[in-house]
């Protein structure tokens, strides 16, 4: 069993840390708000006061934070992960951040003798709890091979996609489809509803059809009632869509449907829905269609 660190114990990070503990690993954790980690502490997780303390006490440190500035905040400075990096230590960042930021941190880890992998996840709270969460991994192939058994304790598949930054690029490419699919799904449900079909029936037909992706299978019913705790909120969804649009401009790839979805995410924020699950895109369209959500 491994001695593991985990930085960022939010909706997904906290559950991944719990899963690693359930697999018998010793986990030392850090979160900006300690109270949010209380359930993990009660279950036996060790606590560290800073990201540096986490990395200093563990050979392998995971992180899952909100965005690029948050990754830089836990990596740099006197209390950052980099201050504890040394030969033999591995830093696995599961955040969805700018590939440029990820590569810059990886270079600093390497300069101190450590190795960084970017390993964002594909899935949701439900996927994780079902043991179906998948990962993509970028960075040194030998290190990937070494930590693969640990990654497979989190979920059934962890695919190496290339060097540092490639996994976050792949995650961003995947995530742009979430908003696009939710927007198209919402259009179809509202069209059916305004033609006289019960919304619940329309959702059932759609999510049972050949058009239903796994993501729509679990998030589609949220148009009937948004979850009290957002699985992936509007603010985070727009962060990822904006990263995709920035990559598209840099690489010369037009992303017209992602751009439209991004504008509707802005509208959702304008309606005060930024902390609600991104399925709240339905509420924006329903508002425009004159339908009570």
Q: What is 240-263 written as a DSSP string?
A: HHHHHHHHHHHHT---HHHHHHHH
109-133 as b/e: b if 16+ CB within 10 A: beeeebbbbbbbbbbbbebbeeeeb
Q: Tokens in use for 225? A: 């009632």
Catalytic-residue membership of 171: yes
Q: Tokens in use for 228? A: 């009290």
Q: Tokens in use for 195? A: 């033609």
Residue 263: count other Cβ atoms within 10 Å of its Cβ: 14
Please identify which of the residues 89, 171, 235, 239 carries the catalytic annotation: 171
Shortest CA distance to 58 belongs to which of 22, 18, 95, 85?
A: 85
Residue with tokens 């003798």: 113
Distance CA 223, CA 181 (A): 13
203-213 as b/e: b if 16+ CB within 10 A: beebbeeeebe
User: Is 84 within 8 Å of 52 (Cβ atoms)?
Assistant: yes
Active site residues: 171
């Amino acid at each position: 069993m491994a001695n593991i660190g985990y930085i960022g114990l939010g909706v997904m990070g906290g559950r991944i840390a719990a899963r690693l503990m359930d697999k018998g690993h010793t986990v030392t954790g850090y979160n900006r708000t300690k109270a949010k980690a209380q359930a993990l502490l009660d279950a036996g997780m060790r606590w560290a006061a800073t990201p540096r303390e986490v990395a200093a006490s563990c050979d392998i440190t995971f992180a899952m934070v909100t965005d690029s500035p948050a990754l830089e905040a836990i990596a740099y400075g006197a209390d950052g992960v980099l201050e504890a990096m040394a030969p033999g230590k591995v830093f696995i960042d599961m955040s969805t951040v700018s590939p440029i930021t990820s590569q810059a941190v990886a270079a600093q880890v390497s300069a101190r003798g450590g190795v960084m992998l970017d390993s964002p996840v594909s899935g949701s709270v439900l996927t994780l709890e079902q043991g179906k969460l998948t990962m993509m991994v970028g960075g040194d192939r030998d290190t990937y091979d070494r930590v693969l058994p640990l990654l497979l304790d989190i979920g059934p598949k962890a695919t190496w996609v290339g060097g540092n930054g490639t996994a976050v690029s792949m995650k961003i490419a995947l995530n742009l489809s979430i908003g696009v699919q939710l927007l198209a799904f919402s259009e179809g449900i509202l069209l059916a509803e305004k033609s006289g079909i019960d919304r619940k029936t329309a959702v059932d037909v759609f999510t049972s059809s050949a058009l239903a992706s796994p993501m729509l299978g679990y998030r589609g019913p949220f148009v009937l009632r948004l979850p009290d705790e957002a699985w992936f909120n509007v603010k985070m969804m727009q962060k990822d869509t904006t990263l995709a649009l920035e990559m598209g401009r840099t690489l010369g790839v037009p992303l017209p449907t992602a751009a439209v979805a991004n504008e509707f995410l802005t509208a959702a924020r304008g309606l005060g829905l930024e902390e609600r699950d991104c399925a709240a895109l339905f509420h924006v369209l329903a508002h425009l269609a004159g339908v009570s959500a």
